[in-house]
Structure 1
Amino acid sequence: MTVISLKSAQVREGITLPYAEAGYPSGTPVVFVHGLADSWWSFEPLLRRLPASLHGYAPTQRGHGDADRPPEGYTPDDFAADLVAFLDAADIPRAILVGASSGGVPARIVAGSHPDRIAGLVLLGVPGTLADKPAAAETREAAEGLADPVPRAFVEDFMAGTAARPIARGFIETMVEESLKLPAYVWRETVGGLLDADLGATLAGILVPTLVIWGDQDEYLPREDQQTILNAVHGADFLAYEGTGHVVHWEEPERVVADIAAFAARIAHPGTPSGTA
């Protein structure tokens, strides 16, 4: 099992992001980008399974987990700018980005705007659009009504239905505790920033190799939503995980790691067969 080290990176004055690092120094750099209310812990199941070919980094985004919480700056563009600054602070010249859920939005912004820094992009249960998703509007309404301390019931409801397969209760408890670290204003600003963004525009200009992974039991993102991404990103590969829900990296961490490793190998050695499903 791979050892995980906890470090921190100052991405700008007054904003330091904790991050987890795991894997082998000679491995391909892979930077994991978590979604709303998560932290680096979201990728703990992947980090401890990394093969020798990969070197993983998982920063906690501003406002989340134990990261600094500025009073503003919670749009996808803000998170994307932090991500580029993180690459600089952690001395990562070029990496594969792996974005999970809403974390895939800033990840794809960076992939489109900084192709010199991004070798490839992996999207794990990432929305193509949210404008047509009733659950997104319901989350905004609920977040706007929040006050500190954020109720545990709200967080548990937010996580309910994300998985189609059983997940270790201890891990779920850890993720609930991480989500409870977000103050109400971070919930409001992050949800509002995400839903007010033009998600279609964040798919423009992505020319790096891209792999889209989706669970066919995802209650939030139907297959046609993922087609929105595939239509926008020329040549993207697609993998559908049968019987898996929204949080594919929690439900099938071994398979996700294997598919990321295979994707990295294809980038390093073009011509290797790609996966489709």
Structure 2
Amino acid sequence: MGSKAHKLTLSTGIEVPCFIDGDPDARPLLLLHAWGESFESFDRLAPLLAGFRIYAPDLRGQGDADKPEDGYSLAEQAADVAAILDALEVPRAFVLGSSSGGYVAQALAAGRPERVAALVLVGAPLSLRGRPAFADEVETLVDPIGAAWVRESLTWFPLLHEVPAWFIDDRVDDGTRMPAHVWRAILKGLCEAAPPTESGTIATPTLVLWGGHDHLLSLADEQALAARIAGSVLKVYPDTGHLVLWECPERVAADTTDFLRSVG
């Protein structure tokens, strides 16, 4: 995907690469990756999303985006996404967010509803208040981030399906490209933020996809998330874990395509 990446200079003061593909006249679909990843985490999904103009940026501090010392609160991450749409000259888009990328997508939809035509939340949280069990480990990180630590960190989210080794290797590479201060700052920004469905209202058509063996996010939370977004649809994948995007990109692509076509 990297060969189709364009460098964007944002009004928020940073530069980020953005993968762009598809018919320029097709409906725009913005893909937001998870904490510790890059737009290349959509390598297996993007080719399956036929009929859309795909935009997949590296978010602040991750991938090949600028890595400043600050700007990692949830509100600032959402502001970056709005600035990405501005730089792309895309006034309104469908938005798909994976894991914490779905939290950022919620913040965008709650704060700037005019920018979001519909949401697809893939293994995305209702709330990240508090500290997950691995937060203490993240606090101890020092540069350079080693590949062995990143690979071990992936075991925080067990996989129930076989995922290609090259894809895992690429995610390890994503993690080693993030400096320690970014690992800490993004997690802090996510955990300290008020959940978007509490701080605002999301009225955007929304599809919530959740893995039935997700040990980070509960079914009760995902049901609450869907209940707070009027008219949303919750679909459970009973045989997957938290990393729905990694485990079954074909199912995610099919459900995303069907849903977005149904809402126009």
1:145 maps to 2:143: no
The aligned counterpart of 2:52 is: 54
Aligned residue in 2 for 1:108: 106
| 1:115-130 paired onto structure 2 within 5 Å | 115-130=113-128
Shift of 1:152: 2.4
Q: Is 1:240 aligned to residue 240 of structure 2?
A: no
Q: 2:257 aligns with which of 257, 261, 264?
A: 261
Cα separation, 1, equivalents of 2:180 and 2:217:
26
| Unpaired runs of at least 5, structure 1 | 269-277
**Pairwise CA distance, 1:166:** 0.8
Match of 1:274 in 2: none
Find the aligned partners of 1:3 and 1:13 in 2 and give their Cα distance: 23
In the alignment, the residues of structure 1 paired with residue 208 and residue 251 of structure 2 have an alpha-carbon distance, to the nearest angstrom, of: 14
What is the correspondence of 1:36-115 to structure 2 with a 5 Å cutoff?
36-51=35-50, 53-115=51-113
Per the alignment, residue 183 of structure 1 pairs with 179
Deviation at 1:70, TM superposition (A): 1.0
The structure-2 alpha-carbon separation of the partners of 1:144 and 1:235, relative to structure 1 and needing over 3 Å to count, comes to: same
Which of the numbers 223, 228, 251 marks the counterpart of 1:227?
223
* Cα shift at 1:204: 3.0
SS class of match (1:116) = helix
| Structure 2 portions without partners, runs of 5+ | none
User: How far 1:137 moved relative to its partner?
Assistant: 2.9
**What whole-Å deviation, never above 9, does each CA across 1:83-127 have from its counterpart, x for those lacking one?**
000001011121011011011111111111222221001100011
For the residue of structure 1 that corresponds to 2:72, the secondary structure is: coil
Decide which moves more: 72-81 or 10-19: 10-19
Q: Is the aligned partner of 1:210 residue 2:170?
A: no
TM-score (norm 2): 0.94
Please state whether the residue corresponding to 2:44 is helix, strand or coil.
Answer: helix
- Count of aligned residue pairs for this structure pair: 263
Shift of 1:67: 0.5
Residue 156 of structure 2 corresponds to residue 156 of structure 1: no
Deviations 1:167-216 (A, max 9, x none): 00011001100111000000111111111112255563101101100111
For 1:211 and 1:175, locate their aligned partners in 2 and report how far apart those are by CA, in whole Å: 25
TM-score for both structures, normalised by structure 1: 0.90
CA contact (8 A) 2:38 2:63 kept: yes
Alpha-carbon distance in 2 for matches of 1:203, 1:127: 15
Give 1:13 deviation, angstroms.
6.0
- In structure 2, what is the equivalent of residue 170 of structure 1? 166
Give the distance between the partners of 2:190 and 2:111, measured in 1 at CA. Answer: 18
- List per-residue Cα deviations over 1:106-158 (Å, max 9, x = no partner): 111111122222100110001112346xxx43222111111101132321222
The 3-state SS of whatever aligns with 1:12 is coil
Measure, in 1, the Cα distance between the counterparts of 2:126 and 2:22.
31
CA RMSD of aligned residues (A): 1.8
Q: Secondary structure at the match of 2:19?
A: strand
- What's 2:34 paired with? 35
Task: Report what 1:26 is aligned to.
Answer: 25
